[in-house]
Amino acid sequence: MKILLILALGILLSSPAQADPRDDIIAGFKAQGAGDANLANGQKMYSTTYGSGKPDTPKCTTCHGATPQQGGQTRTGKAIDPMAVSRTENRFTDKKMVDKWFRRNCKGVIGRECTAQEKVDFLTFLASQ
């Protein structure tokens, strides 16, 4: 019995660490031509006033929190959880969501889709927060 328990514990401890779904999403953007993440650029994107998209959404923080650690709200007042992964654990773990919102929000704020590099920068910056 004791031996079985030790065996079971051994298997548990030796199983590989859980894969981070964000790694796959980032790998996908790299396959589209992005290089390593530039955290400073990701941080800049988060708070830059672009003004080249829709007039009522000049920056990401029009809806997202003033800092990544703070929550935000949609134009209609619906709460948005903080973007920092340390605050909202499941951020950027669903590729469909990531693609959908990058497409919609980059167009709305910047007036064009974000590049694969910008997506890696933005996502990696927020994963570090």
Contact set with ligand HEC (CB under 6 A): 57, 60, 62-64, 74-75, 80-81, 91-92, 94, 97-98, 101-102, 105-106, 108-110, 122
Q: Which is nearer to ligand HEC, 9 or 104 (CB)?
A: 104
Spatial CA neighbour of 4 closest among 58, 17, 12: 12
Amino acid at 96: K
Cβ-Cβ contacts under 8 Å for 99 (sequence gap 6 or more)? none
Spatial CA neighbour of 129 closest among 65, 74, 75, 34: 65
Spatial CA neighbour of 80 closest among 110, 95, 101: 101
Cβ-Cβ contacts under 8 Å for 86 (sequence gap 6 or more)? 69, 129
| CA–CA distance, 26 with 118 (Å, rounded to integer) | 11
Least distance between ligand HEC and beta carbon 28 (Å): 13
Q: Which is nearer to ligand HEC, 9 or 112 (CB)?
A: 112
Q: Which is nearer to ligand HEC, 7 or 97 (CB)?
A: 97
Q: Which is nearer to ligand HEC, 57 or 129 (CB)?
A: 57
